[in-house]
Amino acid sequence: QKEVEQNSGPLSVPEGAIASLNCTYSDRGSQSFFWYRQYSGKSPELIMSIYSNGDKEDGRFTAQLNKASQYVSLLIRDSQPSDSATYLCAVKTNAGKSTFGDGTTLTVKP
């Protein structure tokens, strides 16, 4: 079992729809959770971080964390073609080590 698993995708949604990206992790000692966006050929850029159970909203993005279920998700509302990218989930333990999922590729069709 991988330490961090993401939907393999690709995920395709129409413009204006909600895109839902999911991530599960195996280490119950994980403390911090991050979502990065990576455009093709570019380096990852941080979208959101979440540390406590519940929802965290930032503009069109909402991160959801459920530590009991070892599950973290990212919702993108009103998806735009510019949101088309690979989204990486990263999980960090108390020791500060980050583990990344393989990413989910999102395509938003105009």
Partner 1 sequence: SQTIHQWPATLVQPVGSPLSLECTVEGTSNPNLYWYRQAAGRGLQLLFYSVGIGQISSEVPQNLSASRPQDRQFILSSKKLLLSDSGFYLCAWTRDGTSTDTQYFGPGTRLTVL
Residues that bind partner 1 in the complex, under the rule CB under 8 A? 4, 31-32, 34, 41-46, 49, 51, 88, 90, 92-103
Tell me the C-alpha distance between 28 and 6, whole Å.
17
Q: How far is CA 91 from the centre of its chain?
A: 10
Residue 76 C-beta: closest distance to partner 1, Å: 20
* Residue whose token pair is 């413009």: 15
Residue 82 C-beta: closest distance to partner 1, Å: 19
Residue 18 C-beta: closest distance to partner 1, Å: 24
Which CB atom, from 17 or from 49, has the smaller least distance to partner 1? 49
Q: How far is CA 1 from the centre of its chain?
A: 19
Which CB atom, from 18 or from 46, has the smaller least distance to partner 1? 46
Q: In a 3-state reduction of DSSP, which class is residue 43?
A: coil
Calculate the dihedral angle through the C-alpha atoms of 37, 62, 77, 44, rounding to the nearest 10 degrees. Answer: 0
Tell me the C-alpha distance between 40 and 32, whole Å.
26
Which CB atom, from 42 or from 77, has the smaller least distance to partner 1? 42
Which CB atom, from 19 or from 34, has the smaller least distance to partner 1? 34
Residue 51 C-beta: closest distance to partner 1, Å: 6
